[in-house]
């Protein structure tokens, strides 16, 4: 992201009463995308149904579509809440729906729920119940009306967070008085790759073959250079409708790869918004008949990987003299490089090679305007003497709760020994 601005005044945990007038996403919105796929012969089984649902004059299909797009608001006070949680792999999103008796504005108004954790790899069969705690709510762009999406975290029946519940520890860190006082801002750049169904090869690539070398595809326009724009644009609007603090999107260096940015967000809000945005993207690619992957290096060879660069600042960094605070934070980050790398996403060693705008996974580095470093500082930050830093190490499949909390912990709560600090400062040429 070019710069960190003031975060949105609207917090994710509360919905505005005027936010229900926009139209939800409907199957008709996929006509251009799905018809293009059907002409190539790549659409099979359930995707064919989508083509019929968009283009057929068959009365049965039209009636189903009408029911899918039906606004029930004039007929009942009841709403549909889609409870969303993170599954056993730590990267998969799961969800199920329930009826709520009336519209709500805050997650505290919602009941806890449960699911079968043995079917998600999160509990044994003989004691399979996992409890969902509602934590944040967003408007539902698929159902519209007063219907909502609910970001939940997961607990045992005794109230203990289960191992895959990374939000719990993050919330503890963000509630620490030292962290609260520094008002940490995050701007997260989520890269992702779109794959053709069945063959699992990037969208727009010849099956089993390769397009021309990288260069023409970044932020490009044209049928031979941009693949998946409909999905990116639909996701952008869905996020805005939902109340996610999305700040931009662009095509990436590798064809078939895209990025969206969320933020600036304060504290735990950053993780909630990224997870909800990922859920929307999964649903949209599902409707479009395209596969989403967050693999940090989906194609081996001379192709860019996929990261989740995390821009970060504290109140002290944003005030006068903040560049010195940033340099102290960089020093701390260098001393905990291994801890951060181990928490920054699975398979990241395939991406952090020192090539394709990355630093080597084994060596910490920083620089001004240098995209080949672990930590990049912008020219504006250097010039103004205050601002933010960009951690370029996180992989596209990182857990935003883990990454954001770890950045706050390392830079605000963790203190190195004086000897270690002096040695690191000398090595990195930092005067702090």
Instruction: Report yes or no: 226 and 217 within 8 Å, Cβ to Cβ.
Output: yes
Contact residues for 384 (Cβ-Cβ < 8 A; gap 6+): none
Structure tokens at 307: 């990261």
Supply 229's token pair: 């724009």
- What pLDDT score does 421 carry? 77
- 354, 137, 284, 368: which is closest to 258 by C-alpha? 284
What is the dihedral sign for C-alpha 28, 30, 33, 39?
Answer: negative
Give the integer Cα–Cα distance in Å for 154 and 99.
20
What whole-number distance in Å separates Cα of residue 280 and Cα of residue 193? 15
Question: What local confidence, expressed as pLDDT, does residue 282 receive?
Answer: 98
C-alpha to C-alpha distances, 274 to 187, 191, 194, 195, nearest whole angstrom: 10, 11, 18, 21
Q: What pLDDT sits at residue 6?
A: 56
CA nearest neighbour of 29 among 81, 80, 69:
69
In whole angstroms, give the CA distance from residue 275 to residue 97: 17
Which residues contact residue 264 at a Cβ distance below 8 angstroms, ignoring those fewer than 6 apart?
Answer: 4, 5, 6, 7, 8, 185, 186, 187, 245, 247, 311
Helix (H) or strand (E) holding 152: strand 148-155
Reported as type and span, the H/E element at residue 408 is helix 400-408
> What pLDDT was estimated at residue 57?
56
Count other Cβ atoms within 10 Å, centred on residue 218. Answer: 15
Dist. CA 58–CA 161, nearest whole Å: 50
- How far apart are alpha carbons 386 and 293 in whole angstroms? 36
Which residue, chain included where needed, has tokens 């398979």?
A: 347
Residues 6+ apart with CB under 8 A from 295: 193, 306, 347, 396, 397
pLDDT (tens, 9 = 90+) of the chain, 432 residues, equals 544 455 554 444 445 444 444 556 654 554 444 434 444 443 333 333 343 444 455 666 788 888 988 889 999 999 999 999 999 999 999 999 999 999 999 999 999 999 999 999 999 999 999 999 999 999 999 999 999 999 999 999 999 999 999 999 999 999 999 999 999 999 999 999 999 999 989 999 999 899 999 999 999 999 999 999 999 999 999 999 999 999 999 999 999 999 999 999 999 999 999 999 999 999 999 999 999 999 999 999 999 999 999 999 999 999 999 999 999 999 999 999 999 999 999 999 999 999 999 999 999 999 999 999 999 999 999 999 999 999 999 999 999 999 999 999 999 999 988 777 777 777 777 765
Bridging pattern class, strands 185-196 and 246-251: unpaired
Q: Please name the residue ranges forming H helices in 28-69.
A: 31-39, 46-55, 59-68
User: 3-state DSSP call for residue 234?
Assistant: helix
Q: What are phi and psi of 125, to 5 degrees?
A: -60, -35
- Between the two ends of the chain, the Cα-to-Cα distance in Å is 26
- Nearest-5° Cα angle at 88, 86 to 90: 60
* Interstrand relation of 148-155 and 79-86 (parallel, antiparallel or unpaired): parallel
Q: Which residues of 397-411 are buried (b: 16+ CB within 10 A; e: fewer)?
A: bbbbbbbbbbbbbbb
Rounded Cα gap, residues 91 and 85, in angstroms = 10
| DSSP assignment string, 306-369 | -B--EEEE-HHHHSTTHHHHHHHHHHHHHHTHHHHHHHS-TTGGGT-BS-SS--BTTS--EEES
Both tokens of 403, joined, read 């990454």
Cα 186 to Cα 313: distance, rounded to the nearest angstrom: 7
Which sign does the torsion angle of CA 391, 396, 401, 406 carry? negative
pLDDT at 300: 94
């Amino acid at each position: 992201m070019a710069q960190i601005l003031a975060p949105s005044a609207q917090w994710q945990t509360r919905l505005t009463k005027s936010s229900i007038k926009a139209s939800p996403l409907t199957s008709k919105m996929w006509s251009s995308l799905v018809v293009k796929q059907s002409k190539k012969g790549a659409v099979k089984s359930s995707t064919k149904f989508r083509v019929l649902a968009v283009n057929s004059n068959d009365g049965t299909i039209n009636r189903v579509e009408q029911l899918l797009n039906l606004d029930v608001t004039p007929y009942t006070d009841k709403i549909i809440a889609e409870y969303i949680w993170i599954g056993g792999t730590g990267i998969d999103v799961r969800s199920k729906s329930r009826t709520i008796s009336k519209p709500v504005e805050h997650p505290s108004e919602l009941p806890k729920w449960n699911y079968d954790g043995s079917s998600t790899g999160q509990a044994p069969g003989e004691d399979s119940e996992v409890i969902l705690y509602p934590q944040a709510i967003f408007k539902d762009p698929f159902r519209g009306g007063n219907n909502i999406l609910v970001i939940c975290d997961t607990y045992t029946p005794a109230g203990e967070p289960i191992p895959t519940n990374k939000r719990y520890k993050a919330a503890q860190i963000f509630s620490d008085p030292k962290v609260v006082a520094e008002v940490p801002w995050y701007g997260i750049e989520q890269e992702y790759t779109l794959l053709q169904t069945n063959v699992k090869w990037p969208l727009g690539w010849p099956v089993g073959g390769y397009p021309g070398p990288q260069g023409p595809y970044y932020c490009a326009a044209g049928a031979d250079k941009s693949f998946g724009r409909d999905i990116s644009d639909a996701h952008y609007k869905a996020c805005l409708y939902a109340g996610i603090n999305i700040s931009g999107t662009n095509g990436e260096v590798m064809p078939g790869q895209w990025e969206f940015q969320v933020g600036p967000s304060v504290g735990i809000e950053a993780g909630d918004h990224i997870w909800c945005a990922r859920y929307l993207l999964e649903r949209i690619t599902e409707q479009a008949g395209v596969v989403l992957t967050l693999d940090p290096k989906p194609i081996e060879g001379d192709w860019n990987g996929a990261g989740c660069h995390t821009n970060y600042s504290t109140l002290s960094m944003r005030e006068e003299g903040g560049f010195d605070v940033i340099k102290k934070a960089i020093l701390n980050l260098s001393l905990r490089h291994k801890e951060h790398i181990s928490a920054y996403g699975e398979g990241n060693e395939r991406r952090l090679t020192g090539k394709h705008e990355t630093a080597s996974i084994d060596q910490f580095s920083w620089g001004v305007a240098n995209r080949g470093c672990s930590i990049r500082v912008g020219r504006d930050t250097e010039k103004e003497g205050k601002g933010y830093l960009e951690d370029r190490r996180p992989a596209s499949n990182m857990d935003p709760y883990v990454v954001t909390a770890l950045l706050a912990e390392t830079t605000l709560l963790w203190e190195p020994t004086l000897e270690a600090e002096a040695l690191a400062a000398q090595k990195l040429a930092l005067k702090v």
